[in-house]
Structure 1
Amino acid sequence: MEDNNSIDIAEDDPRWLGAWWIGFLMSWIFAWSLIIPFSCFPKHLPGTAEIQDGKTSQIHQSNSLQHTDGDFGQSFKDFPAALKNLMRNTVFMCLVLSTCSEALVTTGFATFLPKFIENQFGLSSSSAATLAGTVLIPGAALGQILGGIFVSKFKMTCKNIMKFALLTSITALALTFVFVYANCENEPFAGVSESYNGTGELGNLTAPCNANCNCLRSYYYPICGGNGIQYFSPCYAGCTNSVSKRHPKVYYNCSCIERKTEVTPTPSSFSFEAQAGKCSSQCKNLPVFLGIFFAAIVFTFMAGTPITVSILRCVNQKQRSLALGIQCMLLRLLGTIPGPIIFGITIDSTCILWDINECGIKGACWIYNNIKMAYMLVAISVTCKIITVFFNGLAVFLYKPPPLGTDVPFQNQNSVVTTVSLECDLSKAGHDG
């Protein structure tokens, strides 16, 4: 039987990790290389004051912003009041919550999309990760760029920018249902969904044909039999001979694989009973899935730049930095941190074959229910997208642009806010009198 204690791991072994640290090292170098040129920029670029003086303030008109004087924000003691003002800015909070919902689903897919592709379409881990990166990274970059171009080219007002973000969110919601189309049935797996030639029972990898092999449940090395059935390892397939010089490695004389005659491998023989690796999937929807999912990523990230611009326009000029800081904090707490956790728990709930080590402790999942996984991911994605659409729509509904005649340059917006507040107070006093 196959030696279960062998420590030789080839690239086609599921336990193969490769140089996993290279990506982190390159990201670290790239991030630090950007710090040097960015540190050379001044606090304000030349001409900033003139540009701001030519723009008009589109700050959201709410009661929380009517008592901001020109010296507000100069001292740390103003921080609680500034934080309270932003929290009471309903439009700002709606936009932040919509970005949190999007961050939850995007970080979840960035982490687990390779696993989905690997299981649904029967690819190796490396191939699935490569395809996922090819779709996610260019799609996100293209979406961000297109969103910025549309906002800049059409010179949208704050409300129109929010409407544009709402439209792209609705489109991304519709495209998310691609996971229903992409679901594929699991390939036959001996002991899990298929019996060992009519022997054994489902849910048990051990059958009469491999009962005396002393196979380890912790050693997962899938092979595909000539009968189209996948086996947990050569040991569980009862294979006694192999040829390692061929790639992928091939196996002969497997007691659990039905055959008509005894096979004796020869140098010129190309027939075999099983070969290393998963059986090729019969699901042919991969190109269509990647194309539609790429479009969903583009429309998802197309709303990123417009929402950031909307946040900057709907808060007070002196509270912009604090607003972005609050958005970043909530984005982490409600989006990027719980996203992979929720996706991981959800995907684990679809597991049908766990790794059990020699001590009987459950480890990683080897086999998932593809149909259930697809529908669970659709449920999470659609729920998050609906939350995003809801808060984007609510922001459009609640946003109140400055009254006609009060649009003034950013440099003078504080004095106008004070004037508007004074007029409101005088009008209220006259009404009460």
Structure 2
Amino acid sequence: MKKNGVDNLAFEPPSPEQRRAVPGPQQSPDPQEEEEAAEELCGWGRCAPPLLQLCNNAKGYLLFYSLLSVFQGIIVNGLINVSISTIEKRYELNSSLTGLISASYDIAFCVLCLFISFYGERGHKPRWLAFASFLIGLGSLVFSLPHFLSGVYKYGEKLDDTCPVTNSQFYNATCTPGSKSSLSNYLYVFILGQLILGAGGTPLYTLGTAFIDDSVPKHKASVYIGIGYSMSLLGPAVGYVLGGQLLNIYVDFNQQVRTDITPDDPRWVGAWWVAFVVCSFCTWLLVAPFSYFPRRLPGTQRIQAEKISEAHDDGKEHKDMGKDIKNFPWTLWSMLRNPVLMCLVIAAAVEALVATGFATFLPKFIENQFGFSSSYSATLGGVVLVPGAALGQIISGTLVSKLKLDCKNVIKFIAITCSIALALNSVFLFAKCGNEPFAGVSETYNGTGMLSNLTAPCNMNCRCLRSVYLPVCGTDEVQYFSPCYAGCSSVSIQKSGKVYSNCSCIVNPKTAFNNFTNGAITGKCTSKCTALPAFLFFFFLTVVFTFMAVTPTTVAILRCVPDMHRSFAMGVHMLFLRLIGTIPGPILFGVAIDNSCTLWSVDNCGKSGACWVYNNHLMAYTLMGISATCKVISIAFTVIAFVLYKPPPVKTSASQKDIETEMSVQL
């Protein structure tokens, strides 16, 4: 068997078992060799059953690494993203605060990643992942605690809100000065859960990835890393689908409470908490398998000996660093001085800003742009984001492996995929929807009243409650905040639901509901926009090409630094990924979405809560502008990295070629 033209049998050193089998003095066991062999057994201490050795290889490790990545993805990138809009309504939070919840995971990651990646490089990496499994399960359980601590959800007993509102219906309209809902205080519990999840995710994507690169040949590393990363995206897929389906179940189904609302009602809150509890216990099951893996897999030393460094500028001045804890500052400084590493890190971080922002708010974007329910929007978001991201990483990992690209060509590959993604970003220009007519928000009440004012002459005497949001669609195909604001004085129960009639604000009917020409039915008006298929198709392609840069970026980062610093380089990469990308990403997107709000919920004291209606055009253009700007910056830094990268001196390859030639002559 030959590799790179060299007979491996001529170079491969005999194993400890082969050396002990040679007759003569060499048969005496070498204590050091026996100790090294014991360190490569799967088990705990001297307990190493033969059955466990079946998983004691790179494929076995990849299996459990992928399972942990799946559950971490279900919780962090799936369930939390799906539940964001539901948590906003349930705990009276706005998008900026829920963006802070999403960013809390990355804050913990930033604080810990450098230290864990530096100290973990010298430690037992699989057991670090066992600890990570425990923390991820604990964080998921903590995140679900607000449901058990906040009591039963109360959406209000008054459902009809017809005109006029009687005095007895003002029971919930009283404002107590200085009163404040305690629900928003659960924000801190959500943040605590995310901080624990961030601490658990740190070893997974620093030490876990470096352990894969240590344990497989260089040309196979991109495939293994690509599979691991793509499996981590299976988690969000499951999270989006599972979480979306659970949102169709009432939040307090276990309390046996009576509900008079359906999932189509804007006040509906689904059972967002169930999957968090289940996933916490499932993740704890992975603690034991990771604890059994050895410090290094069998054959790792031979694989490391065969690898040729591709470190930028050969990494000469850094080779002796990082052997002692006291060298932590100098090792960090050497990483920061590596221009290729830093350009790749910044480029990846800026891309992550966009990816995290869309992962958090894409369901909300679809819900408001195309008029679907939270559950259906979450499912559509998962169908686009997760398969696209997984497909992109698998394709790129396979291409890099099959083409055997060196570090410089990998960087060129990254620049090409990012450029294509930038061109596809124009999907927001043509695949967007305007707002359906909304009385008092996007248009006046038949020429009366003013914009941004729900009160008009036709409903002035109704004394409607602004705190009760019950949208109805009139026969004039205009949406109203509630039956009261539409001036409806009668209600009847039909098979299709409640039908309101005698609506004084509806004067130009275009249709009829059960022979009521000036009536209205519950729910928002159906969107007439037909751009959803085009949006989903082009956004899917954008996601594919965006994530085609993820695995090659990881490979390039691991190659452009000295071998002993690969874990630490991943720590630096993840630090900047969070600081520049995933922390500000949800916050920036949340602020941008809030700025496009045209109708806020208001309590009886006039305090704003969640947003009910957005300006769809402004939202689409704002998100497109953020995405395009970030991609241009990412491409610029990738090109700079390509220009600055200096491959190792040719003498390394030349000496290898001389050895190959000499061996060919001998053979």
Task: Please give the TM-score of this superposition, normalised by the length of structure 2.
Answer: 0.57
What are the ranges of 5 or more consecutive residues in structure 2 without an aligned counterpart?
Answer: 1-160, 173-258, 657-667
Alpha-carbon spacing, 1:290–1:26, altered in 2? closer, same or farther (3 Å): farther
Which residue of the partner structure matches residue 14 of structure 2?
none
Q: How does 1:246-325 map to 2 (within 5 A)?
A: 246-258=495-507, 273-325=519-571
Q: Which amino acid aligns with 1:170?
A: S
Alpha-carbon spacing, 1:26–1:167, altered in 2? closer, same or farther (3 Å): farther
- CA drift at 1:52: 2.6
Which residue of the partner structure matches residue 116 of structure 2?
none
Paired residues of 2:506 and 2:518 also in contact (CA < 8 A): no
Paired residues of 1:53 and 1:409 also in contact (CA < 8 A): no
Alpha-carbon spacing, 1:110–1:400, altered in 2? closer, same or farther (3 Å): same
Instruction: Provide, for residues 357-395 of structure 1, a one-character-per-residue CA deviation record: whole Å limited to 9, x for no partner.
Output: 211112222221111111100110011111111111111
Instruction: Provide, for residues 170-204 of structure 1, a one-character-per-residue CA deviation record: whole Å limited to 9, x for no partner.
Output: 11111111111122221111112222233222221
Which residue of the partner structure matches residue 416 of structure 1?
none
Q: Percent identity?
A: 55
Q: How does 1:324-335 map to 2 (within 5 A)?
A: 324-335=570-581
Alpha-carbon spacing, 1:260–1:78, altered in 2? closer, same or farther (3 Å): closer
| Structure 2 counterpart of 1:116, from 355, 359, 365 | 365
Alpha-carbon spacing, 1:155–1:272, altered in 2? closer, same or farther (3 Å): farther
Which residue of the partner structure matches residue 66 of structure 1?
316
Which whole-Å CA distance do the structure 1 matches of 2:277 and 2:546 have between them?
Answer: 28
Which residue of the partner structure matches residue 414 of structure 1?
none
Alpha-carbon spacing, 1:139–1:190, altered in 2? closer, same or farther (3 Å): same
Divergent runs of 4+, >6 A: 3-7, 269-272
Which residue of the partner structure matches residue 652 of structure 2?
406
Q: Which amino acid aligns with 1:380?
A: I
Alpha-carbon spacing, 1:52–1:255, altered in 2? closer, same or farther (3 Å): same
Which residue of the partner structure matches residue 237 of structure 1?
486
Which residue of the partner structure matches residue 424 of structure 1?
none
Secondary structure of residue in 1 paired with 2:317: coil
Which whole-Å CA distance do the structure 1 matches of 2:509 and 2:540 have between them?
Answer: 47
Which whole-Å CA distance do the structure 1 matches of 2:409 and 2:338 have between them?
Answer: 19
Q: Larger % of helix: which?
A: 2
Alpha-carbon spacing, 1:79–1:176, altered in 2? closer, same or farther (3 Å): same
Alpha-carbon spacing, 1:146–1:26, altered in 2? closer, same or farther (3 Å): farther
Which whole-Å CA distance do the structure 1 matches of 2:330 and 2:452 have between them?
Answer: 61
Which residue of the partner structure matches residue 634 of structure 2?
388
Which whole-Å CA distance do the structure 2 matches of 1:80 and 1:40 have between them?
Answer: 33
Q: Which amino acid aligns with 2:301?
A: A
Q: 82-91 or 3-12: which moved more?
A: 3-12
Which residue of the partner structure matches residue 190 of structure 1?
439
Paired residues of 1:175 and 1:292 also in contact (CA < 8 A): yes
Which whole-Å CA distance do the structure 2 matches of 1:297 and 1:149 have between them?
Answer: 18
Q: Which amino acid aligns with 1:98?
A: A
Secondary structure of residue in 1 paired with 2:438: coil
Which residue of the partner structure matches residue 86 of structure 2?
none
- CA drift at 1:89: 0.4
| Structure 1 counterpart of 2:411, from 162, 165, 185 | 162
Which whole-Å CA distance do the structure 2 matches of 1:264 and 1:287 have between them?
Answer: 30
Which whole-Å CA distance do the structure 1 matches of 2:571 and 2:378 have between them?
Answer: 32
Higher relative contact order by CA 8 Å / sep ≥ 6: 1 or 2?
1
Which whole-Å CA distance do the structure 1 matches of 2:653 and 2:387 have between them?
Answer: 39
Alpha-carbon spacing, 1:157–1:98, altered in 2? closer, same or farther (3 Å): same
Alpha-carbon spacing, 1:100–1:28, altered in 2? closer, same or farther (3 Å): farther
| Structure 1 counterpart of 2:402, from 145, 153, 156 | 153
Which whole-Å CA distance do the structure 1 matches of 2:330 and 2:356 have between them?
Answer: 33
Secondary structure of residue in 2 paired with 1:379: helix
Name the count of aligned residue pairs.
Answer: 403
Secondary structure of residue in 1 paired with 2:313: coil
Secondary structure of residue in 1 paired with 2:652: coil
Secondary structure of residue in 1 paired with 2:612: strand
Which residue of the partner structure matches residue 49 of structure 1?
301
Q: In the alignment, is residue 15 of structure 1 matched against residue 267 of structure 2?
A: yes
| Structure 1 counterpart of 2:324, from 75, 78, 82 | 75
Alpha-carbon spacing, 1:187–1:406, altered in 2? closer, same or farther (3 Å): same
Which whole-Å CA distance do the structure 2 matches of 1:391 and 1:26 have between them?
Answer: 42
Q: Which amino acid aligns with 2:316?
A: Q
Alpha-carbon spacing, 1:27–1:172, altered in 2? closer, same or farther (3 Å): farther
Which whole-Å CA distance do the structure 2 matches of 1:34 and 1:391 have between them?
Answer: 39
Q: Which amino acid aligns with 1:227?
A: D
| Structure 2 counterpart of 1:364, from 580, 605, 610 | 610
Secondary structure of residue in 1 paired with 2:500: strand
Which whole-Å CA distance do the structure 1 matches of 2:654 and 2:277 have between them?
Answer: 48
Which whole-Å CA distance do the structure 2 matches of 1:57 and 1:190 have between them?
Answer: 67
Paired residues of 2:501 and 2:520 also in contact (CA < 8 A): yes
- CA drift at 1:407: 4.0
Q: In the alignment, is residue 173 of structure 1 matched against residue 425 of structure 2?
A: no
Secondary structure of residue in 1 paired with 2:639: helix
Which whole-Å CA distance do the structure 1 matches of 2:453 and 2:434 have between them?
Answer: 20
Q: Which amino acid aligns with 1:189?
A: F
Which residue of the partner structure matches residue 24 of structure 1?
276
Which whole-Å CA distance do the structure 2 matches of 1:37 and 1:151 have between them?
Answer: 31
- CA drift at 1:47: 1.8
| Structure 2 counterpart of 1:132, from 381, 389, 413 | 381
| Structure 2 counterpart of 1:89, from 325, 332, 338 | 338
Which whole-Å CA distance do the structure 1 matches of 2:509 and 2:556 have between them?
Answer: 71
Paired residues of 2:513 and 2:519 also in contact (CA < 8 A): no
Q: In the alignment, is residue 377 of structure 1 matched against residue 623 of structure 2?
A: yes
Alpha-carbon spacing, 1:127–1:311, altered in 2? closer, same or farther (3 Å): same
Secondary structure of residue in 2 paired with 1:355: strand
Which residue of the partner structure matches residue 200 of structure 1?
449
- CA drift at 1:21: 1.2
Q: 83-92 or 130-139: which moved more?
A: 130-139
What are the ranges of 5 or more consecutive residues in structure 1 without an aligned counterpart?
Answer: 411-433
Paired residues of 2:410 and 2:556 also in contact (CA < 8 A): yes
Q: Which amino acid aligns with 1:154?
A: L
Q: Which amino acid aligns with 2:422?
A: L
Secondary structure of residue in 1 paired with 2:449: coil
Which whole-Å CA distance do the structure 1 matches of 2:462 and 2:339 have between them?
Answer: 66
Q: Which amino acid aligns with 2:600?
A: W
- CA drift at 1:214: 1.5
- CA drift at 1:34: 4.2
Q: Which amino acid aligns with 1:42?
A: P
Alpha-carbon spacing, 1:54–1:11, altered in 2? closer, same or farther (3 Å): same
- CA drift at 1:164: 0.9
- CA drift at 1:298: 1.0
Which residue of the partner structure matches residue 91 of structure 2?
none
Q: Which amino acid aligns with 2:299?
A: G
- CA drift at 1:27: 4.3
Which residue of the partner structure matches residue 470 of structure 2?
221
- CA drift at 1:168: 0.8
Secondary structure of residue in 2 paired with 1:249: strand
- CA drift at 1:252: 2.1
Which residue of the partner structure matches residue 422 of structure 1?
none
Secondary structure of residue in 2 paired with 1:18: coil
Secondary structure of residue in 2 paired with 1:325: helix
